[in-house]
Each structure stands twice: as C-alpha cells, then as structure tokens.
C-alpha cells in the first residue's frame, strides 16, 4: 500500500521509500525511512497536499510524493509476528516486522543487446526466457523472483537497448520502466569485450541519479584476450560498484547479488553520484535550464532537474512532455530552443552530438586510467568466419545449406521417436477399445480425443529438433549474419535487414515475431513487417507438412520442406512489394544492426529454449486443441442417423471393402453439412469437403488441421488400418460418391496445393489478436485475415493446375 492511499487519522509504518536521487535523499532526511511510524493528519481543502505526523513533528507532502512511499498498517504488521513469539508485542516489535517486510529488492536489468543480460536473468531465477545472439529478442519486461539472505529479489529483464533515448520502442519502454516503476537498483549488464560501446548506456544511468550496480559480464573473454581492467578503480571513478561475472557459467553471481544488498542498504562506500562534465558551453546551458525547471517542477516527477535538462538539450521530445504541467512550460521551451541555437552558433554542431561526444569522452578518460587492451582474438576469429559466411557469392548458399540440414535432421532424426510415440498411442487406443463398454463416451475417447490429439503429439520430436537447430544458429550469432546477407533483398522490397530478424523468428511462432517488430523504429516498416510475417511458416504448420510430405514426397522430404519455407519467404517478398506500391509510402531506412562476435552456444540455454517451446506446445494441446478436437468430433458424431448406423459395404472398383455406413454418417453430420457448403469454393483447388473442414478447423491453431484429419480419416478403420500412421491412411483414401467415385482423394498435385494453402492462409487467432494489439488498429488485423486467405486461394489454384500437367497417375 502507498502512503497516498491511507485515510485520515490512520497510523502506518513505512516499509520502503521508492524514487531516486535528490528526492530520495530529501525524503529520507525528513525521517521517511523504513520502520518509522507515520500518522495521517489531514488533507488540504483540494486534497493535496496531505499533512502527516512523523518523529514528533508535522510535515506535508504532495500526493504524488506520498505515492512513492510504501507503508503497512499496524494490523497487517501484527500478522507478520511469528506465531511462536513469546515477548510482549509492542510498537517497536511491529516496526521491526514492518521493516523486515520491506526487504524486497526490485532490480531492473538493463544492458545492450548481446551482453548476456537474459542469460544472467535465467541463471539466477532458473527461468527459461529465450536467449538469442541478436538484438530484439526481449521485447517486453520479463519478471521473476528468488530468495537470498533474507531478501526477496524481484528481477525484471528489460529489453536490450543501446541507450535510453526515446527514438525506438525498446528504448522508450526501458526508460519509462525505470522512471515510472522506480526499481531500487538498476543492474547494468556490460559486455567485457566491448566496454566503450556498452558504457554509453551507463553514462545515461549516471545522469538519471539512480542506484546502479554493474555486472561486468563475459569476464572470461576479457581475460582470455589478455586485457586488464581495474574494476575497483573504475567503480570509484563512476561511483558504481563493478562485479566481474560469467553468466553462462554462473560465476560471480553470488557476489553480485551480495553487492546489490549492500547498495540497497546504503552500506557500500563506492556508491556516490557524479556529474559528467559536458564542457564549458554545454554546462552553461545546463545550468540556465536547470534553474528554470526547478522554479516549478511538476509534482510526482522524480527525475532530477539536471537529467531533464540534458534530455531537453538532447532534443528528446518525451522530456518536454514531462514538464507540460509546469507554469513556466513556455519559458522552458523557449530557453531550450535558444540554448540549442546558441550552442550551434558557438560550437558549430548540434547539441545532441555534443552531448554524445562528451559521454564518449568521459568513457575514454575513465578507461584510459583503468583499462589495458588485449588481443581482440574473438573479433579476429569472427572476422575470418564472416569472410566466408557473409561472402557475396558463398553467403546465400551457406544459409540455404544450414536450413537444408535443419530440415533434413527434422525428418530423419524425428522419424524414430515419431514411430515410438505412434505405437504408444495405438496401444492406449487398443486397450480402451478392448476394455470399455460401447457407447458415446468410448467413441469420444477413441475416435475423438485419442485419434485427434495422438495425431498431434507424434510430431513433438520433429518440432523439438527444429527448435534445437534454430536455437543453435541464434546463440552462436549466425542469425545476425543471415539478416546481414538478406539486407540487399530486404532493401529491394523497401525494408532492411533488421526486419529479417522478426521474420526468422516467425519460423518458430508468428506471435513473438510480430512482437519483435517493436525494435523497428519506422512505423511503416513495422506495420509492413507485421503483415508479411504470417507468410513465415511457423512450427504449428510443421505437423501438416510432415503428414503430407511423408505420404506423397517421401523420396525427397527435405527438399520439399525447404521449398515450402522458401516459398513463404518469396510470397512475403511479393506481398511486401505490392503493399509498398499501393499502401505504404515512406523514406528509405538505413540498415544499422550489430554483428556480434561468434560465441559457443551453452547447452543449458538451448535446452531451456527447447523446453519452453515444448511446454507451450503441450499447453496448446491440452487447451485450444483439445477443445477444438471435442467440438469437431461432436459435429461429426451428430445427428445420429439410424439408417447410416447399420453396417453396409460397397466395393469401389477395387478389392478394398470400406465401411460405407461410417462415411455416410460423417457426410450427413453437422460437420459434413459445413463441408458440403464450402466445397464449391475449394473444389478448384483439388480439395474435397473433408479437407475444407480441416482448413476451417485450423483457424484457432494450425495443429488442429492434423488432429481433424485424425478424426475424419481414421474414424471407422479396421484394426489393421488403425495401426497405420495418418500418412499411410491418406494414401489409400478414395471418393465414395460423386463423379470421382473410386478415385484417390489425395495425390501429389492435391497434396502440393493443400500444403501451399496451409502455408499462406489465415494465420491463427493469436496472431490476429497480436497484430491488432501491436498495430493499435483492428483494420490491420482484419486486412491480414482477408488478404492472406485470398492470396492462399490464388497460389493453391495455380499450384494444383500446374502440378496436374506433370502428374500422370490419379
């Protein structure tokens, strides 16, 4: 509870004071510290400010200031007393309990992309956030907690960012979180091998006048390269404790969090606030503006006046918004423009450039006294590898080779556990059929749930293998090179290499990929990337691919699967071209993206990533897919037509005899009615009504396409057929009525058409909801629904008719 929420004549005990810098110092000097009792006396006529009694004297605070003080009532403090406490419970005991209750340390992790911030977060919290060796992986704040030495640490992993300006979504998000949520400590994670660039963010944290601890990460790389850094001396120069760490191995993390406790409790002698010297002329401007801001600083603004001044001179539009309620706002704005013009005239440069130069000058001076460079062996090795993998001739074939190997392993290695799981599902199904009495519940369990979910579960190994290989490429740093070699192609469609990263993430799941577009600064680029990401073939489509490729293209599965992924990329390019010329008009955006040094992937991180995706997959199976399977079974099961329930067989021009009554029941069911209604729309694509139902069922989640096939095509098979995998069953399916009676439903032309349609049509509902949320408009979500489905129909139509020219058998 916050002090601003307490009613008049109530007693409370302070548990924590939030805020930073001069505000926290001033409030603490007034006696507002953890464990002190406060009595709320009365509100001003307009309910602001509020008068309090503290340490025997009266003091008034604005509500915005009181909102930064956490308190607990005496009644709540009573509940914190241990049940076995034998002494007399007095106010001192209550204050002690309240103070101990405030031992929650809110730590925000801030750092550049590729500094190992998320690896550190995962290591100390045993979490499983994805770690990728390229920018834009963390696109939101990830939160976890753990206990240490009587303290509860609340860790927040902020998006990786090079600075805290307001020129990209992740920068603004990280800065707003620090300003608005007022973490107790900002843990600045720094890459030891790239100190100068990483410390630019540190200088901005220094300007904010907040408590900071530095984790000097990847310290083993610094030592291995022969470099030397005097951490103690550098820490004293910055006023920030510096602890060497190796997050991937867990080294130095215990000492790091012990140091955070010391800083939190104000026991660390290194901690002090310093002012970066921006030079004589800039300092003059800073002082003039600072004095004007202090005349009427808005209530609740915990940022220091100096920091706001620096942001104004850095042309940060968000800084002016903070001061909009000041009575002298117009005066502040006029002085800002005047000082920017004066600096331009006197120093012949923009004030923002002068501030940046001064920061790097400060960094260079601090490192000159404390740092001895070593041999940049990691970058030398990286350069040699990059000479090959980013080669203008060999780069693209190498990328295709890696993708081909990934898909080849997905099929070949995944085939063994897929068969084992399939046998296990069959054993369970046979056991239930043999032991349960006949009835609707048995049919639901065997024909619906087991057939439907079993058709999905068998593909878990394939999906895990796919994620394993893509995670390896991300963790080593190769995915950043893929973006680099794709930049020219991206440029031709009006985007740049940075857009390629969300597109690659779309191969795993379109939802986080669309969220990753937040790292793209230009709104038009961001929207366009969102709209073409659904063409990136997500893992949910993989079960459909495996079923049909295993059935009809088993001689060259990796080639067909690679072709599908490349087709998705190609269609995205075509659509981007069309949208560029019809909807989006924008200036060309330069490609600025870091190529981090190559690193050995950490098996623990790779396995955590795999498990994270697998757990999401199982949750989807147990939630959305299970519900959809039951609904599809019910639509197929009802209404019960007595005529169709009596066994009746026909021979369709071959020696195979089929259970006609089961097929008739399906055709006359509610599901069959839906299928017959949409069949005219999909017949030109080579699809029958059951295939149409599978596509409709795939709208919530693409895995349901396969589970629906399991319900529709496996139902009513004899014992021998029920032991076959779904691909084998599809090979033998024939038409039972109509002009094609006796002909095969599936052939290579139909399979190709179906694969293309599944690749391109309506993305799942979660993707549509994410596009709506990230774009801020329903129209872009609806546009995605209609244009992807129309595009899929056209592409499947041409695929089917062209394929028929080369396929001679039915």
Q: Which residues contact 308 (CB under 8 A, 6 or more apart)?
A: 293, 301, 319, 322, 323
Q: Rounded mean pLDDT of 349-357?
A: 90
Report CA-CA distances (Å) from 392 to 349, 487, 758.
38, 12, 34
267 pLDDT above the threshold of 70: yes
- Residue 764: the pLDDT is 83
Measure the CA–CA gap between 380 and 395, rounded to whole angstroms: 19
* Beta-bridge partners for 108: 156, 186
pTM, 2 dp: 0.62
Which residues in 19-30 are b (16+ Cβ under 10 Å) and which e?
bbbebbeebeee
Q: Do residues 546 and 589 lie in contact, with contact meaning Cβ atoms separated by under 8 Å?
A: no
Per residue in 326-338, pLDDT (tens digit) is 888 899 999 999 9
Q: Which residues contact 421 (CB under 8 A, 6 or more apart)?
A: 457, 458, 460, 461
526 pLDDT above the threshold of 50: yes
Q: Rounded mean pLDDT of 172-196?
A: 88
Measure the CA–CA gap between 67 and 102, rounded to whole angstroms: 16
Q: Rounded mean pLDDT of 509-535?
A: 80
Number of helices and strands in the chain (H, E): 39, 15
Average pLDDT, the chain: 80
155: three-class secondary structure by DSSP: strand
Residue whose C-alpha is closest to residue 508's, from 472, 544, 476, 471: 471
The pLDDT-based confidence of 101 (bands split at 50, 70, 90) is low
Measure the CA–CA gap between 671 and 715, rounded to whole angstroms: 14
Strands 228-229 and 371-372 turn out to be antiparallel
- Residue 413: the pLDDT is 84
The pLDDT-based confidence of 809 (bands split at 50, 70, 90) is low
- Residue 430: the pLDDT is 84
Per residue in 448-501, pLDDT (tens digit) is 788 767 766 777 787 778 778 877 887 787 877 777 777 767 777 777 666 776
- Residue 568: the pLDDT is 92
The sheet with strand 185-191 has its strands ordered as 142-148, 151-157, 104-111, 185-191, 212-217, 242-244
Per residue in 62-98, pLDDT (tens digit) is 787 788 888 887 666 665 545 444 444 445 555 555 5
654 pLDDT above the threshold of 50: no
784 pLDDT above the threshold of 90: yes
Establish how many alpha carbons lie within 13 A of residue 698's alpha carbon, considering only the half-sphere containing its beta carbon: 28
Q: Which residues contact 444 (CB under 8 A, 6 or more apart)?
A: 630, 633, 637
- Residue 88: the pLDDT is 40
- Residue 614: the pLDDT is 64
- Residue 110: the pLDDT is 93
Measure the CA–CA gap between 208 and 474, rounded to whole angstroms: 33
Task: Please report the beta strands in 55-101, taking only residues with DSSP state E, as ranges in sequence order.
Answer: 57-61, 69-73
Greater confidence (728 vs 491) lies with 728
SS3 content of the chain, % helix, strand, coil (to 5): 60, 10, 30
Q: Cβ–Cβ contacts within 10 Å for residue 264, how many?
A: 21
42: three-class secondary structure by DSSP: strand
The pLDDT-based confidence of 634 (bands split at 50, 70, 90) is confident
401 pLDDT above the threshold of 60: yes
Q: Rounded mean pLDDT of 304-310?
A: 89
Which residues in 226-257 are b (16+ Cβ under 10 Å) and which e?
ebebebeebbbbbebbbbbbbbbeeebbeebb
Measure the CA–CA gap between 581 and 672, rounded to whole angstroms: 42
Measure the CA–CA gap between 49 and 52, rounded to whole angstroms: 10
């Amino acid at each position: 509870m916050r002090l601003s929420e307490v009613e008049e004549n109530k007693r409370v005990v302070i548990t924590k004071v939030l805020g930073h810098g001069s505000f926290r110092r001033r409030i603490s000097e007034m006696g507002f510290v953890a464990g002190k009792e406060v009595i709320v006396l009365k509100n001003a006529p307009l309910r602001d400010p509020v008068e309090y009694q503290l340490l025997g004297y009266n003091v008034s605070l604005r509500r915005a200031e009181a909102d930064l003080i956490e308190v607990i009532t005496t009644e709540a403090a009573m509940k914190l007393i241990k049940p076995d406490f034998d002494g007399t419970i007095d106010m001192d005991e209550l204050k002690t309990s309240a103070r101990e209750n405030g031992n929650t340390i809110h730590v925000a992790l801030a750092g550049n992309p590729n500094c190992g911030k998320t690896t550190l977060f995962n290591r100390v919290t045993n979490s499983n956030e994805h770690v990728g060796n390229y920018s834009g992986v963390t696109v939101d704040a990830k939160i976890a907690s753990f206990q240490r030495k009587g303290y509860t640490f609340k860790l927040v992993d902020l998006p990786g960012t090079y600075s805290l300006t307001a020129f990209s979504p992740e920068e603004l998000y990280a800065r707003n979180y620090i300003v608005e949520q007022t973490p107790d400590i900002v843990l600045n994670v720094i890459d030891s091998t790239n100190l100068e660039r990483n410390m630019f963010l540190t200088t901005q944290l220094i300007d904010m006048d907040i408590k900071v601890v530095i984790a000097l990460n990847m310290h083993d790389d610094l030592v291995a390269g022969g470099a030397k850094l005097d951490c103690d001396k550098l820490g004293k120069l910055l006023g920030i404790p510096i602890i060497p760490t190796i997050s991937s191995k867990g080294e130095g993390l215990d000492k790091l969090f012990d140091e955070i406790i010391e800083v939190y409790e104000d026991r660390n002698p290194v901690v002090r606030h310093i002012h970066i010297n921006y030079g004589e002329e800039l300092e003059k401007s800073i002082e003039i503006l600072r004095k004007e801001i202090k005349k009427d600083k808005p209530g609740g603004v915990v940022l220091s006046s100096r920091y706001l001044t620096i942001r104004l001179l850095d042309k940060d539009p968000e800084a002016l918004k903070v001061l909009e309620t000041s009575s002298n706002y117009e005066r502040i704005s006029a002085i800002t423009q005047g000082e920017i013009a004066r600096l331009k005239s006197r120093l012949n440069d923009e004030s923002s450039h002068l501030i940046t130069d001064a920061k790097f000058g400060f960094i260079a001076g601090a490192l000159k006294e404390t740092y001895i460079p070593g041999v940049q062996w990691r970058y030398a090795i990286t350069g040699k590898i990059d000479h090959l993998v980013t080669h203008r001739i060999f780069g693209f074939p190498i990328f295709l080779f890696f993708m081909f190997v990934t898909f080849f392993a997905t099929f070949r290695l995944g085939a063994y556990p897929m068969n084992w799981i399939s046998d296990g599902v069959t054993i369970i199904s046979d056991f239930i059929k043999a032991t349960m009495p006949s009835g609707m519940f048995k049919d639901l369990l065997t024909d619906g749930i087991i057939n439907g979910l079993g058709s999905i579960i068998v593909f878990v190994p394939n999906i895990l293998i796919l994620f394993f290989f893509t995670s390896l490429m991300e963790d080593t740093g190769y995915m950043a090179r893929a973006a680099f070699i794709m930049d020219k192609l991206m440029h031709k469609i009006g985007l740049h290499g940075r857009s390629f990263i969300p597109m690659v993430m779309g191969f795993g799941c379109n939802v986080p990929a669309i969220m990753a577009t937040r790292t793209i600064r230009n709104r038009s680029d961001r929207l366009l990337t969102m709209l073409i990401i659904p063409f990136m073939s997500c893992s949910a489509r993989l079960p459909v691919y495996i079923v049909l490729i295993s059935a009809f293209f088993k001689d060259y599965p990796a080639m067909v699967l690679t072709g599908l992924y490349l087709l998705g990329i190609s269609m995205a390019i075509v659509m981007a071209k069309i949208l560029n010329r019809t909807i989006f008009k924008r200036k060309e955006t330069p490609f600025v993206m870091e190529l981090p040094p190559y690193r050995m992937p950490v098996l623990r991180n790779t396995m955590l990533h795999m498990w994270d995706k697998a757990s999401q997959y199982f949750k989807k199976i147990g939630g959305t897919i299970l519900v959809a399977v039951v609904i599809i079974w019910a639509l197929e099961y009802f209404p019960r037509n007595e005529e169709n329930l009596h066994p009746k067989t026909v021979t369709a021009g071959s020696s195979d005899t089929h259970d006609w009554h089961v097929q008739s029941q399906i055709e006359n069911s509610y599901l069959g009615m839906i299928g017959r209604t949409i069949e005219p729309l999909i017949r030109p694509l080579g699809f029958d009504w059951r295939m149409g139902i599978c596509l409709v069922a795939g709208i919530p989640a693409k895995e349901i396409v396969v589970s629906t096939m399991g319900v529709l095509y496996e139902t009513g098979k004899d014992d021998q057929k029920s032991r076959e995998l779904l691909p084998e069953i599809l090979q033998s399916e024939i038409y039972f009525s109509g002009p094609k009676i006796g002909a095969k439903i599936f052939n290579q032309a139909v399979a190709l058409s179906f694969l293309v349609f599944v690749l391109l049509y309506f993305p799942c509902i979660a993707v549509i909801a994410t596009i709506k949320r990230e774009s801020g408009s329903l129209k872009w979500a609806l546009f995605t629904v209609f244009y992807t489905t129309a595009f899929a129909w056209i592409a499947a139509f041409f695929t089917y008719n062209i394929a028929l020219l080369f396929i001679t058998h039915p």
